[in-house]
Chain A
């Protein structure tokens, strides 16, 4: 069974641009969560989607947005990029959206560098 895939793996953008990252969950998984990881702040939760609906959101500005498609694939978008947005963006999928014991499976991440 294929794992979580994220594209692209690496990305370089300049300040002010916008970027879209993609995540394909494990087949059959309906929940997708996004995280930002930086050396200073660690792993921070961005948002979670289940059945095309955002069910949970972390403490990030509105420049960070996402969506989920009917096939459970998800995209996240960052507009008006800032230097501080340079980070590893991780996607994780799980079977359902409400269970406290469902394991989350993480992808390898997309490394975004903002110049």
Chain B
């Protein structure tokens, strides 16, 4: 049970922003939201995580809804190297349950 819901696929144009949504309506107060991505032929890699407030790092931004039932991963300017499967994970301790993720296609 992944406990998160994401669209199966999304498309973006290169150098445009991308907003990847995630629903986690049954989240509890201590669960963190983590995002990982998996590029072709590689293991997943960490993107960003957050608990309540919005977070930014060099890769992306994470916007968490006030009720914490949903979040959005924002890639500010998509590049061809951002084409990957993006996983939103509701994390309880070290328990990481991956869902099917969103396959992001970036068009030149």
Q: Which residues of A contact B (CB under 8 A)?
A: 4, 31, 33, 35, 42-45, 48, 50, 55-56, 90, 92, 94, 97-109
B85 to chain A, nearest CB (A): 9
Known contacts A33-B94, A48-B94, A98-B93; A107/B49 CB under 8 A = no
| B94–A98 CB distance below 8 A | yes
| B93–A104 CB distance below 8 A | no
Task: For the complex, give the distance between the alpha carbons of A50 and B30 in Å.
Answer: 21
- With an 8 Å Cβ cutoff, the count of chain B residues facing the other chain is 23
With beta carbons under 8 angstroms apart, the residue of A42, A97, A104 that contacts B100 is: A42
Task: For the complex, give the distance between the alpha carbons of A100 and B44 in Å.
Answer: 17
Prevailing SS type, chain B contact patch: loop
| A56–B45 CB distance below 8 A | no
Task: For the complex, give the distance between the alpha carbons of A106 and B89 in Å.
Answer: 15
Return the chain A residue nearest B30 by Cβ: A100
Besides A48-B94, A97-B94, 20 other CB < 8 A contacts?
A35-B98, A43-B44, A43-B87, A44-B98, A45-B95, A45-B97, A48-B95, A50-B94, A90-B44, A100-B31, A100-B91, A100-B92, A100-B94, A101-B32, A103-B46, A104-B36, A104-B44, A104-B46, A106-B43, A109-B43
Return the chain B residue nearest A109 by Cβ: B43
| A104–B49 CB distance below 8 A | no
Residue of B42, B43, B95, B100 with most partner-chain A CB within 10 A: B43
Return the chain B residue nearest A58 by Cβ: B97
Residue of B44, B46, B94, B97 with most partner-chain A CB within 10 A: B94
Give the residues in chain B near A42, CB-CB below 8 Å.
98-101
Give the residues in chain B near A92, CB-CB below 8 Å.
43-44, 96
With beta carbons under 8 angstroms apart, the residue of B32, B44, B94, B101 that contacts A56 is: B94
